[in-house]
Structure 1
Amino acid sequence: MAHPRQQVHPEDFNDPEAMDWLAAHKDSAVTDLRLKFGLQRPYASWIAQLEVQRRYAHKFPTLRLTNWIFPSGQATEQSSSERTALHKASLISSAYTADLCAGMGIDSWALAQREACLGHFANELDPGLSRLLKFNLKNATHASGTATAILPKFKRWLDEKDVAPSQVAIYLDPDRRSGTGKSVALQDASPNVVLLQHELFKLSHTLLTKHSPMVDLNTLQELEYLSEIHVVEYQGECKEVLAIQRVGHVGEPIIKAVVLQENGSVDQSNAQEAVAAVSFVNELDQFLIQPGPSLAKSNLHVRVAAAQHWKKWTVGNLYTTDKLPPSSPFYKCYKVIEVAKPYKLKLPLEGGAIERIGYPEHPEVIRKKMGWKEGRENKVFAFKLGKNKLMALVERLD
């Protein structure tokens, strides 16, 4: 993972002036401070904290109010949020945990603060980030190297504590980025979990790995003892796909669509009994249902639709029904107002959103041609039905 040449130094916060300087400049423009001080220490480290406090307040609402020192560069941007980190920690019941790709440490922080945790091992390849981790996570044992290279040290740590593999869970967030961009293939990530999993199972009972929201769920079948797949949605976006491997698991994995809320979560899974197939239609009924990111990615929308007797519209992953669906965080529900040929809709003045499904024109082009302002209450779906181009005006109900 690419990080800046000069990382934040934890020693810079031992300076008695640090807190006073941060308080005095809490409203100063970060760009002006960077122009004035450049990479000069300790100011570069202090400025990095000001930037994080502003840019990522929503991402780390609790952590930013503590003495946690955040890194500069991509590590903070690419990190899990507090909310997703806490969700991952809730999936682990083991007394001893390891994070072999710790990054800035948010997932290690969540794992280590569990009531059941008796010991945590945190490894980060980047020396600058590892130095910060040692300052921020004083109750953990630390290493800095590749996930493969540090395994002997991890094994010694377990042996010293007389810990059996049945008591251990290992978490990995493999680096999916390279000089040529991002990859979602398991073999292209570093470390390669497919190759490493056999060594890790000699030391643990459970593996929890984080994968790109773009990963093909079928490729996760390359993981041995695959027990569960979680497609995690937060604040309207699919944030990550989690794979849970448990030694001895036999059979197909449970697939869950998880929607994280501020205090808790809700989920749908394929653990329920199989349901009947849905019927397909070309015309819309009174209501239109659009599955949310986690339901769409997990493909569990088919089960939800069958259970609620929706009909599958032949356009996209959309469903229709004459009965008002119950409110749910897993999908959006709309009332169908009108379906017409392109640009023939009677548009409401308050504006709305535009989405295209197989339609040749970009939403910005469509909006300009319509002369329609942005809004939340209404939506236009521009779509192709066979060879016909059509538009549907709907009103949002949730």
Structure 2
Amino acid sequence: MSNSLVDILSPTPVREFIQAHLNDDPLALALQAKKYPELPIREIATQIHTRKKAQSKLPEWFANQKIIFPHGVSMEQCSSEETAKYKASLVEGKTVTDLTGGLGIDLYYLSQNFEEANYIERSGELQMLAQHNFKALGVNDITQFHGTAAEYLKLEKEPADCYFIDPARRDDANQKVFQIEDCSPDLNFIIPLLLERKAEVLIKLSPLLDISQGLEVLPNVKEVHVVSVKNDCKELLFRIIPNYEGTVKRIAVNLINEKEECFEFSEEEGETIPSFSKPKEFLYEPNASIMKAGGFNSISNAHGVNKLHRNSHLYTSENLVQNFPGRSFKIVAQTVLSKKKLKPYLPDGKANITIRNYPISVKEIRKKTGIKEGGEIYLFATTLMDGSLVVLVCEKK
């Protein structure tokens, strides 16, 4: 039997078995291999485990029973359906080339805005999987190349309008890395080759990367997109335009159930000093993308809300700001961290606790007060502009 996942898992009896046992415990199933001597049970069990991960991350692909998912890092690092669709909304043209094809999620959606698409992948196993999956999805017009990005660019006859790169974020010891110089392929080598082609470049990088450091390394960046899904920061997108030398726009996007919570600001706007005040009627916490993008000052000026402290990143206003990009709360009371003083506001002894610029952790607060997790009350332990430590008792709007 071939070692290829495509050969092992694509036969009809195997696919039917996977669908019939999709809700089984993969580990328990693997231990029953002797019951099914005619089937590759270990590979089937692993595929079931991986498919379960794909159900929420890649629903369109999960729904297609012919799709085969890779095991391990490739599945972990691939884009979700939401983030892939967001990338596709940013670019269009005649030809798009994905220099780090992987599972092919990003190129599948990117290609829908282009007449031609090229898939480049150095892993033979992944390249075979992508070929199989594109066919299963009814996509037959993606040209494939098995090799490295550098090898492909040496042989390329016609430059693309847009190149997409999602560098591998693992080192030789299979440990996670996120600094640009640690990723593969080497962007310091690849980017100049693409700029010579006068092409747009879209680069996906780790959300752990410091954006300012990325801007120091990458040339001609016009936009940095910070993309979150349901307030969980997933990736940074650096959009490079040949010869662009203007100000960089930072775009903080939070994808929530098919909707985009978006906030844009320039580097100059981000340096504008915000207004400060004590807590008023309402409290606001920006979403994760805004926090990562560094829009602490911009969000204050754009929405007319006051900051509680330079380092607290919580905001307040007298009147409710509609459609604030983040969480909004009604302030019920202002107090201090004291079990006795908090008790009247917590009849069931429960609260959702957040700390912002506060000297002790949520775990320590719970230990000190005995407050359990949950309920309808939200406590924000923070520091005000005069340096005083407070706890704001809030209800979600």
> In 2, distance between residues paired with 1:136 and 1:368?
51
Structure 1 vs Structure 2 CA RMSD: 2.7
User: Aligned residue for 1:291?
Assistant: 286
Identity between Structure 1 and Structure 2 (%) = 27
> In 1, distance between residues paired with 2:45 and 2:27?
9
| Unmatched tracts of structure 2, length 5 or more | none
Give CA-to-partner distance per residue, 1:170-191, whole Å, 9 cap, x none: 1011122223843332122112
Q: Kindly indicate whether residue 157 of structure 2 is the aligned counterpart of residue 148 of structure 1.
A: no
Shift of 1:318: 1.0
Q: Secondary structure at the match of 2:364?
A: helix
Q: Secondary structure at the match of 2:188?
A: helix
8 Å contact kept, 1:8–1:70: no
Q: Secondary structure at the match of 1:150?
A: helix
Of residues 317, 324, 337, the one that matches 1:321 is 317
> In 1, distance between residues paired with 2:97 and 2:302?
40
User: Aligned residue for 1:375?
Assistant: 374
8 Å contact kept, 2:27–2:45: no
Count of equivalent residues:
379
8 Å contact kept, 2:275–2:300: no
> In 2, distance between residues paired with 1:20 and 1:309?
58
Q: Kindly indicate whether residue 129 of structure 2 is the aligned counterpart of residue 136 of structure 1.
A: no
| CA 213–285 in structure 1, closer or farther in 2 if over 3 Å, else same | same
User: Aligned residue for 2:220?
Assistant: 225
> In 1, distance between residues paired with 2:220 and 2:133?
34
> In 2, distance between residues paired with 1:390 and 1:262?
34
> In 1, distance between residues paired with 2:47 and 2:29?
12
More helix by share: 2
Structure 2 length-normalised TM: 0.86
| CA 7–356 in structure 1, closer or farther in 2 if over 3 Å, else same | farther
| CA 7–316 in structure 1, closer or farther in 2 if over 3 Å, else same | farther
User: Aligned residue for 2:265?
Assistant: 270
Q: Kindly indicate whether residue 178 of structure 2 is the aligned counterpart of residue 184 of structure 1.
A: yes
| CA 307–19 in structure 1, closer or farther in 2 if over 3 Å, else same | closer
Q: Secondary structure at the match of 2:151?
A: coil
Q: Which amino acid aligns with 1:394?
A: C
> In 2, distance between residues paired with 1:88 and 1:181?
26
Shift of 1:14: 4.2
Q: Which amino acid aligns with 2:207?
A: P
Q: Secondary structure at the match of 2:68?
A: coil
Q: Secondary structure at the match of 2:46?
A: helix
| CA 20–186 in structure 1, closer or farther in 2 if over 3 Å, else same | closer
Q: Secondary structure at the match of 1:151?
A: helix
Structure 1 length-normalised TM: 0.86
Shift of 1:16: 3.3
8 Å contact kept, 1:60–1:82: yes
Q: Secondary structure at the match of 2:196?
A: coil
Q: Which amino acid aligns with 2:29?
A: L
| CA 223–366 in structure 1, closer or farther in 2 if over 3 Å, else same | same
| Unmatched tracts of structure 1, length 5 or more | 1-5
8 Å contact kept, 1:8–1:44: no
Q: Kindly indicate whether residue 214 of structure 2 is the aligned counterpart of residue 215 of structure 1.
A: no
| CA 382–194 in structure 1, closer or farther in 2 if over 3 Å, else same | same
> In 1, distance between residues paired with 2:199 and 2:264?
23
